[in-house]
Amino acid sequence: MSRGDPSYGPNPWQQAHWDVRAAANFVCGGMGGGLVVAAALSGARGTALAAPMLAGTALVALGLASVFAELGRPLRAANVIRNPRTSWMSREALVAPLLVASALAAAFGLPALAPVAAALALVFVYCQGRMVHAAKGIPAWRAPLVPALFVATGLAEGFGLWWLVAAFSGAVAPPWLLGIFGLLVVARLALFRRYRRTLALAPRAAAALDRAGRLLLWAGTAAPLACGAAAAASPGASAWLAAAGGLLAAVAGAHFKGTLMLAAGHNQGFAIAHLPVRGTSS
């Protein structure tokens, strides 16, 4: 942002450091991590385990490739791992290859590593939430609930995508997995509402976030719950009804995170807490 820009000053302006490529990392990484967790908890084996594990790994890799493409000097990307003691980005970068390796191993004949992949996926998504939370100059990102909201959103998206992958792969899910999916979309909405109540945002940022919240309510929560209830009552069509609800939950979550990173990512503007008074020492 240049000083000639009229929005540069005490009024909030939209950040321009993280663009759609960085947002894609958070969207795809959260979805992929949640899908790996869902695959591990499903207890599936063979193709029914390999398909969601591979899909989750591909999403995580796509997100990382997107943020790599954002780098002005890609050959220096290895520098990101140099500060794991202080940087959540470094921690994410260190966890990512372990996550990919364990998920691929679980997909290709070592199902005992599925819980390891799930644990690493949770750490990966948590690191992403902490990365966003560390941006203290942006009110919508620095709220205390952001890490928990990222984890809940990633899990809701991932469990939603699991039902979509299962419909195509023919995986048979235990009945309680649909209940976990329902709890996740409700928990995500509850966290979002509590998070939103704590924020004082610039008008454009607030309007964008509120629009995303309405989509999260109807397409991301109400519709998936209705599809889940219909799936439980209609065994013959349960797989595709659950898949439809899962897809809606994933799309609504992706839209929310994209909105949070882009349209709602306004800096707070400059502020002087204590004006100096001429002739005084303070």
Q: Is the pTM of this model over 0.85?
A: yes
**What mean pLDDT is reported for the chain?**
90
Summarize pLDDT for 65-117 with one digit per residue, the tens.
998 876 666 556 566 777 888 899 999 999 999 999 999 999 999 999 999 99
pLDDT of 1? 42
pLDDT in tens, 179-224: 999 999 999 999 999 999 999 898 999 999 999 999 999 999 999 9
Average pLDDT over residues 126-154: 96
Is the pLDDT assigned to residue 21 strictly greater than 50? Answer: yes
| pLDDT tens digits, one per residue of 248-278 | 999 999 999 999 999 999 988 766 566 566 7
| Residue 34 to residue 36: CA distance in whole angstroms | 5
Which band of pLDDT confidence, cut at 50, 70 and 90, is reported for residue 23?
A: very high
46 φψ region: left (φ > 0), alpha (ψ -120 to 50), beta (else): left
What is residue 2's predicted lDDT score, i.e. its pLDDT? 42
**Residue 234 or 110, more confident:** 110
Q: Is 222 exposed, middle or buried (0-12, 13-18, 19+ CB in 10 A)?
A: middle
The CA distances from residue 141 to 15, 132, 149, 209, in Å, are: 11, 6, 11, 12
125 Rama class: left (phi>0) / alpha (psi -120 to 50) / beta: alpha
The answer to whether 151 and 125 are in contact (CB under 8 A) is: yes
Largest CA distance in the chain: 82
Identify the structural domains of the chain with CATH numbers, from first to last: 20-261 (1.20.1630.10)
Q: What is the pLDDT of residues 32-57, one digit of tens each?
A: 999 999 999 999 999 999 999 999 99
- Amino acid 26: pLDDT: 96
